[in-house]
Amino acid sequence: MKKFMTMGMLLLFGIALSGFYLEKACAQNWLAAGSRPQDYEMGGNPTVSHGSENAGFIRSKVNPANGFGTWMTKIEPGSYLGKGLKLSAYVKTANVINYATLWMRVDGAGNQTLSFDNMAGRPIIGTTDWQQYEIILDVPENSTGIFFGIMLGGTDEAWVDGLRLETTTRTWAAQNSGISVGIRSIKAVDENTVWAGAAQGIYLRTIDGGENWTSGTVSGAESLDFYSIAAIDQNTAYFMGQNFTGGDGRIYKTTDDGANWTLQYRNTSPGVFFNSIAFWDEAHGIAVSDPVNGSFLIVTTSDSGNTWNQVPAKNIPTPLPNEFAGITGNGGTSLAVEGTNNAWFGTGFSTANGLQLRVLRTTDQGQHWTAINTPLSTFGGFRGIQTIAFKDSLTGFAGSVGIPNSDITNTLVKTIDGGKSWEVVSSFLPIYPSTLVYVPQTNNSVLFVTSLQGASYSEDGGTTWKSIISTQIYYPMTFASPTGGWGAGFSGRIGKFIGNLTTDIIIKHEQRPEGFELSQNYPNPFNPITTIAYSIPQADFVELKIYNMLGREIQTLVSEMQQAGNYTFDFDASQLSNGVYFYQLKVGNRFSETRKMLLLQ
């Protein structure tokens, strides 16, 4: 409880400068401030080059110190307006009990906080040697002041040195795709490997982060657009092809970098129009089409696409009049999968009828479905859900578009119960989402969205949103990491995201663990949520999975590159039956451990 209250005070610091007591002014306009600055000694000049002894310092004079102090300054926004601003500095600490952090805040008129980062999710604790930390914030055009400094909560001592401010951008840098037709879908495997699908049966791939793109045409698919991709690795990908007018939907697969393609599935029924394809793992996948013969057409595979089986119509809710399976053409993300069994797809309407857009959900790999109404906008003669993204089995977003586009409201909804109910995200910007994704390696806190009205992002799980400054429009979009993202669009346009979407929620600069560790879940037994914690001493690919007593994989909690650090994951087992389960942590080829837990509900 003490730590929670302390971090709460730290977060409160960003609300208003007027809540501080400014004890005295110091050299070069640096100030001693905080909740109890009188309990701290502060001084020095943190703007000198790194290496100077005690360039800037803050140390507690009393023990215990029940507040916090900060050595801080203010600058005018000036040339930073409309740009990104990076604050970097070296920090070392001695015996810090609660926290030491860098912080930066951008204010508008009336001391309104426009953007803020105080490393609340990555505090520096204990005794640490010099290490460089950074904070990146946007400086909106209406900014009136920029504040920054070093903060110490509780005891004992911290130093700051080599402080530097520099502009940075969060925008798109054009890359040469080598083609001139529209790119319909794009999917990153990692920061180097990215697949893209275009009109006229063209595929693209890069293995160097987009410095060089190779392209080719899938033989026999020249009349198709590749609207959706499921990229497995550098060599293997599934491309969903569809002719624009409908009536010919296909699934192609390559296992040799695109040199050869196998037609795995084809359907030429009247009305067929496949919108999205996705895979839970290398073997299990799903694709969703508009209605055929009065039922949504859904096909699944459990053998890496060698066979695709149609889900019986009786297991799928009947389409409403003029209802189709979401809107495609901008990335093919109207379908989302999660874990090993969950999936969701959105619907749309081709006429103005006032009916609510729906999300269909499954918890058994697509074999049975239920439909849920959403409060998305009912305006427009042609409207539908175009993108869906889930961070786990409970929390996700769905975004819609409409034609005409004169009413850009209520275009994003959120669920926290697995899609059983949805609420409008009232803080969302007036845009039509084309593609919405969770950015990997951000603890599911950063979301990125593209649209006709420009790109935007959220650093707090979708609570607040900011716009990207860019003159180019991208629709399909993908991210492999906070610094590895790509967007695509018309006339062969591909752009790489420039900037860093790392936020204070990411555990990035904390003290590095000394070794690998998988902790016992807590509580245990549990009902139905438990926390699993683990530590990794160096960056590597991490997998955290749940298994039942028979050794069958139940759910994948983590499957991504992670930096060195301490991590926690809240596992929700509300959809599982009572009994013993196992959770296994694998870190590359370096570490593997399995522990047992008991579910009682």
CATH number, residue 13: 2.60.120.260
Which structure tokens are listed for 61? Answer: 């004079």
CA-based diameter of the chain, in Å?
Answer: 79
Query: What's the number of domains the chain is made of?
Result: 3
**Residues 425-466 pLDDT 10s:** 998 988 889 999 999 878 788 899 998 888 888 988 998 888
Confidence at residue 208, expressed as pLDDT on a 0 to 100 scale: 93
Q: Are 566 and 513 in contact (CB under 8 A)?
A: yes
Whether 309 maps to a domain, the answer reads yes
Residue 199 lies in a domain: no
**Residue-range definition of the domain harbouring residue 30:** 2-168
Q: Are residues 153 and 217 in the same domain?
A: no
CA angle 587, 589, 594 (to 5 degrees): 55
Q: What is the pLDDT of residue 12?
A: 35
Residue 373 lies in a domain: yes
Residues 147 and 63 in one domain: yes
What pLDDT, in 10s, does the model give residues 552-597? Answer: 998 988 888 777 777 888 888 888 899 999 999 999 888 999 999 9
Same structural domain, 137 and 259: no
For CA atoms 502, 504, 506, 511, give the dihedral sign: positive
Are 219 and 350 members of one domain? yes
Rounded to two decimals, what is the model's pTM?
A: 0.63
pLDDT at 50: 64
In a shared domain, residues 240 and 295: yes
Same domain, 61 and 117: yes
Q: Please check whether residues 73 and 154 belong to one and the same domain.
A: yes
Q: What is the mean pLDDT of each run of 10 residues along the chain (601 residues)?
A: 29 36 47 89 79 78 87 87 82 91 89 79 84 81 90 90 79 90 95 95 96 96 96 95 90 96 96 94 95 97 97 97 85 92 95 93 96 92 93 94 77 94 92 92 86 85 80 86 89 86 38 79 86 85 92 88 78 89 92 92 76
Considering 111, 144, 168, which residue would you say is the last residue of a domain? 168
Boundary-marking domain end, from 421, 440, 459 = 440
pLDDT at 503: 40
- Do 138 and 221 reside in the same domain of the chain? no
Residues 266 and 390 in one domain: yes
Residues 346 and 269 in one domain: yes
pLDDT of residue 440: 87
Does residue 472 lie within any of the structural domains?
no
Contacts of 4 (CB under 8 A, 6+ apart): none
* Domain-ending residue, one of 168, 195, 221: 168
Do residues 151 and 241 share a domain? no
Whether residue 569 lies inside any domain: the answer is yes
CATH code, 592: 2.60.40.1930
Position 152 scores a pLDDT of: 93
Say how far apart CA 419 and CA 388 lie, in whole Å: 11
332 within domain boundaries:
yes
Residue 525, domain member (yes or no) = yes
327 occurs within a structural domain: yes
Tell whether 220 and 125 lie within a shared domain.
no
Using alpha carbons, select from 393, 417, 392, 287 the residue that is nearest to residue 345.
287
